[in-house]
């Protein structure tokens, strides 16, 4: 008879097989009511799961991350059930959990409308109030295919056919509706109390543009109404901060169909972009990096040797020359940097060798995945590769980690989380090499004094990595920087150095990026700061405004003086009221507004206002320029106070 061991080490003995629900009830009625699922010997199971043997046991509630995922997955099923009741001819396909919510894809004869979404959400609420019991059953493969075909659910039948032969086929039912699913799910629909449908979009079946276009309904779900409302407020704030909207307001960039996934930078946007590069170039030079540039087009054979063709081939742009030679536009910079390292004989005395490049890379992304600057097909990486001996891994990794964290602070990101990603299922190199690489990165993390969480199986195909995750002003997380230890690619591409015994040795290559994608990092910056970039990054740092045309000559002279000191300053001589001009430049997020009337002209002064409306009083153009330069040189850490 089973003995159940609880997380605190205590045990419960039962004289017969018991369900998760019964164990929770034995512990206490409150826990039973809160139970969404169970964890038995580390595996997530339904509350109806029977425990027949001794087991480690825990109840999963909505306070557990797994509990929230179960709520969202179950709400996706609730969505599909509601759609089928309202639109019986619709076919259901897949409905996974995503960040902050879920979606479900449907095949239907016409587009769903906003009115349809409102009706579906109302039906979902009705089904949740009915508190329908959720049941699980296992079915033979052929029987399951026949069952779903009989329902007219041909997509489900196709999914079953693709499931590996040894996997169990499980079905979940609630009311009169049944879906194919691994589970687990909540015990009844009454557990689903706080959800909202957010939008509908197009999506190709299995993500392949050659397949039928489906309709994807997105939603969000939370344990209670309060958390749902807080999330919806965050979404509202995120919409206000959308970098695409800000980019338009500030005239920074645009995208168009003739170049999908590529950015048309306008003068002001390009100014910000180049400011990012200039900043990073300065930091890298101080850290001992040498800037290089590798070709964008290289023979496809090089990418086969590196392992990229096997791993990323379907996302690479390939082209054949008239002599039938196959080339690839680079999706990454690493193989090119190895070629530069290999050019000439290297001694151990030269190591570490630090290369950096602002390399333009191209990766094919499905059109449905493209999203402003966040997800593009052509982007620039602040890519760095450091060639070291194994003995140098720790010290160099510590230096890289500290540099990355210091750089993020300069951009206003104080809350940075670090994840450690170990070997993925699909990788190059043997386990012994991976053991050494993972041990080295863990030792470096310990030496740097950083804490990390495990992102299991998410390492690069050539080595383990640290992922640096920024939390922005409204609580969203963005994975940007990475540090990877690679004992595979240098050997595959024939890189070596001569050690102290005159023997050839393969170097370790540390891959590191701090911004990651400059385009994406700029989008994150725009949303984090709501477009109010620090003055050193702003495309226009100040505008000189005259009250009437009598100040025009003075305004132009001051503007020219400030420009000659390297400041990004414009003048506004339009025949508009000064209040109108101030409001307009405030909306453009210009950090400083310098107003000149007759009194200011007579005294050679400027009235200084900030974009937040703060009045900094009057000062001379020379004093303003001096104070602004202090702010710019300190990367915004010391704001000019007049």
Active site residue ranges: 334, 363, 381, 383, 385, 465, 511
3-state secondary structure (DSSP) of residue 330 = coil
Q: Burial of 277 by CB count in 10 Å (0-12 exposed, 13-18 middle, 19+ buried)? A: middle
Distance spanning both ends of the chain, measured CA to CA: 79
* Block residue for tokens 């008239």: 322
What phi, psi does 223 have (nearest 5°)? -65, -30
Give the length of the chain: 642
- Cβ atoms of 460 and 311 within 8 Å: the answer is no
Residues 6+ apart with CB under 8 A from 611: 532, 585, 586, 589, 590, 591, 592, 593
Return the HEC string of 172-191. EEECCEEEECCCCCCCEHHH
* Block residue for tokens 């809350």: 415
3-state secondary structure (DSSP) of residue 425 = coil
Ordered alpha helix ranges (H), 213-348: 225-240, 243-249, 267-286, 300-306, 308-312, 334-342
Give CA–CA dist 155/107, Å, rounded: 9
Closest CA to 272 of 568, 538, 541, 586: 538
Question: In the chain, how long is the greatest CA-to-CA distance?
Answer: 97
Q: How many CA atoms lie within 13 A of 477 on its CB side?
A: 10
């Amino acid at each position: 008879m089973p003995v159940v061991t609880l997380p605190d080490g205590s045990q419960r003995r039962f004289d017969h097989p018991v369900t998760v629900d019964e164990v929770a009830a034995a512990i206490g009625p409150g826990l039973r009511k809160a139970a969404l699922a169970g964890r038995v010997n580390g595996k997530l199971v339904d509350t109806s799961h029977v425990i027949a043997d001794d087991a480690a046991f825990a109840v999963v509630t909505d306070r557990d991350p797994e509990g929230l995922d179960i709520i969202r997955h179950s709400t996706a099923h609730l969505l599909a059930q509601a759609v089928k009741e309202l639109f019986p001819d619709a076919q259901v396909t897949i409905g996974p959990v995503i960040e902050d919510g879920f979606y479900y894809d449907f095949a239907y004869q016409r587009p769903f409308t906003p009115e349809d979404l409102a009706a579906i959400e109302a039906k979902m609420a009705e089904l949740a109030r009915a508190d329908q019991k959720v049941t699980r059953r296992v079915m033979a493969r052929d029987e399951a295919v026949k069952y779903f075909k009989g329902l007219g659910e041909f997509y489900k039948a196709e999914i079953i056919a693709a499931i590996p032969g040894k996997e169990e086929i499980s079905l979940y039912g609630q009311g009169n509706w049944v879906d194919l699913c691994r589970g687990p799910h909540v015990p009844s629909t009454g557990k689903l109390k706080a959800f909202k449908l957010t939008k509908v979009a197009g999506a190709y079946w299995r993500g392949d543009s050659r397949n039928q276009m489906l309709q994807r309904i997105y939603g969000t779900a939370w344990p209670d109404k309060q958390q749902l409302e807080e999330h919806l407020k965050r979404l509202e704030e995120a919409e206000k901060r959308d970098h695409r909207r800000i980019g338009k307001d500030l005239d920074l960039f645009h995208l168009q169909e003739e170049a999908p996934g590529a950015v048309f930078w306008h003068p002001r946007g390009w100014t910000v972009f180049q400011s990012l590069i200039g900043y990073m170039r300065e930091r890298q030079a101080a850290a001992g990096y040498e800037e290089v540039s590798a070709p964008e087009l290289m023979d496809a054979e090089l990418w086969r040797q590196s392992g990229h063709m096997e791993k990323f081939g379907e996302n690479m742009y390939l082209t054949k020359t008239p002599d039938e030679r196959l080339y690839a536009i680079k999706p990454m910079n690493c193989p090119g940097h190895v070629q530069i390292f290999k050019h000439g004989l290297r001694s151990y005395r030269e190591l570490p060798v630090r290369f950096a490049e602002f390399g333009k890379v191209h990766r094919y992304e499905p059109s449905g995945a493209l999203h402003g600057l966040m997800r593009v097909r052509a982007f620039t990486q602040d890519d760095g590769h450091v060639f070291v001996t194994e003995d140098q891994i720790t010290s160099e990794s510590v230096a890289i980690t500290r540099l990355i964290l210091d750089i993020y602070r300069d951009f206003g990101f104080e809350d940075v989380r670090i994840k450690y990603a170990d070997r993925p299922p699909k990788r190059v190199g043997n386990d012994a090499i991976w053991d050494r690489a993972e041990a080295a990165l863990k030792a470096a993390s310990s030496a740097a004094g950083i804490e990390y969480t495990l992102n299991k199986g998410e390492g690069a195909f050539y080595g383990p990595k640290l992922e640096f995750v920024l939390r922005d002003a409204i609580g969203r997380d963005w994975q940007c920087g990475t540090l990877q230890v690679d004992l595979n690619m240098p050997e595959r591409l024939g890189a070596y150095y001569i050690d102290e015994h005159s023997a050839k040795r393969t170097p370790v290559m540390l891959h590191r990026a701090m911004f990651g994608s400059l385009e994406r990092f700029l989008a994150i910056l725009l949303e984090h700061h709501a477009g109010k970039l620090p003055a050193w990054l702003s495309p226009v740092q100040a505008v000189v405004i005259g009250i009437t045309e009598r100040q025009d000559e003075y305004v132009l002279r001051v503007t020219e003086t400030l420009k000659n000191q390297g400041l990004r300053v414009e003048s506004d001589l339009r025949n508009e009221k000064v209040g109108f001009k101030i409001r307009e430049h405030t909306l453009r997020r210009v950090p400083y507004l310098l107003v000149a009337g007759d009194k200011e002209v007579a005294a050679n002064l400027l009235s200084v206002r900030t974009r937040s409306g703060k009045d900094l009083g009057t000062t001379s153009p020379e004093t303003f320029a001096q104070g602004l330069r202090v702010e710019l040189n300190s990367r915004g850490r010391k704001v000019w106070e007049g």
